[in-house]
Amino acid sequence: MPVNADLDEDVLKKIRRHYDPNLSKEKVDRDLGISTDKKAKYFSILPGVNHVVVNDLEIKGQGKKAEMEVSRPQPNFFFDVKSKDFRINEAFGFQFLFHTSSIAFDRQRYSQLVSGGSNSSSSSSKASGSSEESEIIHADLGTRLRVDYSYLIPTFYWGNPDVDGFRMGLGAGLADLRMRGNVDFRESWDTIGRLVFPYADTNRTDFLNGMAQLQFSSGLVDLKSGDPVFNYLLFNLSQNNNLEWMGLYLLGQGVHFSTDLLSILTYIQYKDHFSPLELLALGALSRSSINSKPKNVFAYMIFLETPKFGFVKFRFSVNGPIFNDSGFRFRMTLFELSAMIPIEF
């Protein structure tokens, strides 16, 4: 005869809960190993540090081209804000990401023709139909360009962090940038034209006015939203001691004297007419100054996030803005490894 035994009340509750059709979603989550604890999440903030593994900034337009990079990448602080997850199903969904950080480019990359017998260790490719090779040079030309950037990007993701903790995603949105510094387009006649031609048969005032006019004519100096201090000094370059103040200001911004041989030979002729700080300013203005704040330009991000290790989460991402401004096309590409601390609300 079967033995009648009263089941424990807790066991009966678990059985009913498991087979209750009204709790089917919780059953799926439970079978997948997903936590059924309900958390009221509205958004999260993620302060952290990133290391830029690969970096590149290409500026191209008006028949000119320059490529900038970071010689020794340093850890940069960043700040992210994420919206809560909007789940499409158990594996897919989307969220909004706000990301802000900065980077300082201090080296340029350019090609230079060399004889075919050169034994240079730099990477090179042979020009077709010629005994010369195109050698890629990575050099500090004294140019500096700081870029502060902020993204607002809706991202689609795949992966449930409650299952294995990994998440892949991609998105595209808008970016605001602030760019300050200068760039050398490696055009010899451009350098000579900036430093020699304006000085011919003119006095100091006319020469400095000509230098300022050449900067404005490049289109890379934004008088409306650019750095107001730089714009004021450039607009009034020939007045009072503004050239010297410009040199002091650029020195404080991290702009160095040009190491380009042609520029150095050109500056020497001015050593009796200008002070060292004024020569520094002329050295910076002999290149194309960039002082602008592009807004609402295109930006993208592709990322892979890890689960938490303790209270830290890691992310590998490829991101950057691509936009046109003042006749030039800017393309910044960053490969970043980030460590961040999620703080959820």
Sorting pLDDT into bands at 50, 70 and 90, what band is 341?
very high
d(CA 207, CA 218): 17
- Residue 189 is predicted with a pLDDT of 55
pLDDT reading at 166 higher than 50: yes
Give the contacts of 221 (CB within 8 A, at least 6 positions apart).
Answer: 215, 230, 231, 234, 289, 290, 291, 292
Lowest mean pLDDT among 4-18, 45-59, 168-182: 4-18
Q: What are the start and end residues of each CATH 2.40.160 domain in the chain?
A: 49-116+134-182+292-344
- Residue 109 is predicted with a pLDDT of 86
d(CA 341, CA 45): 8
Of the candidates 228, 269, 218, 255, the one whose C-alpha atom is nearest the C-alpha of residue 64 is 218
Sorting pLDDT into bands at 50, 70 and 90, what band is 164?
low
Rounded average pLDDT over 306-317: 91
- Residue 161 is predicted with a pLDDT of 63
pLDDT reading at 261 higher than 80: no
Rounded average pLDDT over 251-274: 71
pLDDT reading at 339 higher than 90: yes
- Residue 31 is predicted with a pLDDT of 53
pLDDT reading at 200 higher than 50: yes
d(CA 131, CA 118): 11
Higher-confidence residue: 42 or 147? 147
Higher-confidence residue: 288 or 264? 288
User: What percentage of the chain reaches a pLDDT higher than 90?
Assistant: 33
Quickly name the fold that domain 49-116+134-182+292-344 has.
Answer: Porin (2.40.160)
Sorting pLDDT into bands at 50, 70 and 90, what band is 6?
low
- Residue 5 is predicted with a pLDDT of 53
Rounded average pLDDT over 291-313: 92
State the sign of the Cα–Cα–Cα–Cα dihedral 185, 188, 193, 194: positive
Sorting pLDDT into bands at 50, 70 and 90, what band is 59?
very high
User: What are 137's strand-pairing partners?
Assistant: 110
Lowest mean pLDDT among 150-164, 174-188, 265-279: 265-279
